[in-house]
Structure 1
């Protein structure tokens, strides 16, 4: 089932209930062929998190404008905010876990939603595995598969326990591969700032707006963000606007004026100047460049 978003018309695919009626956690196993899900060939979002161990593949997919040629024995992950496009369907050997934030919260795992893998401030979607990592993850997925196939009164708690271990282990790999330090103190505020930007970037373009949401002064937020990330707070807001503009220019046929309106700009000419200042090219120029490159 797909439901268009209110502003951008990217379909959102919900996590379909499994045979037991569970709408918040699913395990997918593919051993060669794939179902013909042609709707995945168009840009879309999911309303859940997806973690996939690819054992053997070779096809390409896009996550937020970045192409990934799927590698063997590699973990790929995405969240509800990401736009995904698959280029084609080929044979695939993989195990995937799909789960909602509600599943995590319902079973007392709210803290897991703050893990580096889930927050994904580096916008990384691929984890390379050593033989040791692969063995650990394969063993854990076997346990999850076995539990998933045996519904009982303890199943959901057991799945949550295994998921907690998996997310923690993958977050450790994430911090190693993407050079992220532990999320304490000011970094927690930085992550909350990013979360608020994702939630409100269409309506709120000023640092003061987000400082009010976080109950701190604009000056303190600016100083904290610059110290933790190396770039000004306003730059984070602008980068998010540019990312969404690029998504719309690449994935839709909307005009610059329509995109400007979607992103909360009242003046299309100002949006064009903003985009050129941030990217050194106009929206029309970017659209032509990216489509020539990838089509």
Structure 2
């Protein structure tokens, strides 16, 4: 079995401060030089990070899962993940490369808000890796190398220089993302969809109706639904339900909570309704899904 279901009421979450070797709380960059590090606290244990994580891999073969997708590290690849995704480390091996991490707080700093709109941050494909041609690898090696040097010195305007480097990095990665993406739409009018999705991520356990989100966005439910369907091809309620199902699946796989407890955590007052809701959207009962997915993960 590649994971250890949690008996606690919540999947363990690690902050950047806990993950950083220096205890940094907002921004961190470090070079991996082939040291073998296995943190027993999260090896084979489902967990979340509260920060964005980016990793340029020179060499390595570790294996991990992001939600329900397995990844084996390969040389000359770029890996990334977003806050709150459930991850499991299945196999850890020595790695060489450069790892960059920053929190939502970093994106809220003056001048950084625009970064939130970039594809590599929005991640509409829910992707986690980019293949790098030799020219891409060289560019990223040089850029991240400069960031690493700047981070570890005390030059004047150090933070401003780092912010500039991060801007270049995320724009460059976003171009690669679009080139390798299967579903990124070129339409410039997706702002409402992004706001709507962000609200769902923040309120999925308490707000289940389109009208709830329409109130937050100062729109009528009908207008919100029409615009969301225009921008995504799916109705507003489909987005809400997909987010609820994703979180339910995460907890069915990664915790030993009963379906009734999960239903309560996700804002369903009636666990029988949650049972019908889950089966209608997935074709399986919560119990059947848990059994099937855990058999697959053995």
Please state how far the C-alpha of 1:181 moved relative to its aligned partner: 3.2
Once residues 243 and 284 of structure 2 are traced to their aligned partners in structure 1, the CA distance between those partners, rounded to angstroms, is: 17
Please state how far the C-alpha of 1:215 moved relative to its aligned partner: 1.1
Q: Give secondary structure in 2 for the equivalent of 1:96.
A: strand
Distance 1:22 1:244, change over 3 A: closer
Partner of 1:23: 25
Once residues 44 and 153 of structure 1 are traced to their aligned partners in structure 2, the CA distance between those partners, rounded to angstroms, is: 38
The normalised TM-score by structure 1 is 0.92
Partner of 1:180: 184
Partner of 2:14: 13
Please state how far the C-alpha of 1:252 moved relative to its aligned partner: 0.4
Identify the match of residue 249 of structure 1 among 245, 248, 252. 252
How far does the alpha carbon of each residue in 1:4-26 deviate from its partner, in whole angstroms, 9 at most, with x for none?
A: xxx95122211228688742111
Deviates more, 1:115-124 or 1:235-244: 115-124
What is the aligned residue count? 288
Once residues 14 and 34 of structure 1 are traced to their aligned partners in structure 2, the CA distance between those partners, rounded to angstroms, is: 22
Partner of 1:212: 215
Once residues 48 and 222 of structure 2 are traced to their aligned partners in structure 1, the CA distance between those partners, rounded to angstroms, is: 35
1:112 is the counterpart of 2:115 = yes
Please state how far the C-alpha of 1:107 moved relative to its aligned partner: 4.4
Once residues 8 and 174 of structure 1 are traced to their aligned partners in structure 2, the CA distance between those partners, rounded to angstroms, is: 36
Partner of 1:4: none
Q: Give secondary structure in 2 for the equivalent of 1:106.
A: coil
Once residues 21 and 39 of structure 1 are traced to their aligned partners in structure 2, the CA distance between those partners, rounded to angstroms, is: 17
Aligned-residue Cα RMSD (Å) equals 1.8
Deviates more, 1:71-80 or 1:283-292: 71-80
5+ long unaligned stretches in structure 2 = 1-7
Deviates more, 1:92-101 or 1:237-246: 92-101
CA contact (8 A) 1:107 1:160 kept: no
- Higher RCO, 1 or 2 (CA under 8 Å, sep at least 6)? 2
Distance 1:239 1:148, change over 3 A: same
CA contact (8 A) 2:9 2:257 kept: no
Find runs of 4+ consecutive structure 1 residues off by over 3 angstroms: 17-22, 181-184
Q: Give secondary structure in 2 for the equivalent of 1:199.
A: helix
Please state how far the C-alpha of 1:129 moved relative to its aligned partner: 1.5
How far does the alpha carbon of each residue in 1:182-231 deviate from its partner, in whole angstroms, 9 at most, with x for none?
A: 5733x010011110000000001111111111111111111111111111
Partner of 1:134: 137
Partner of 2:3: none
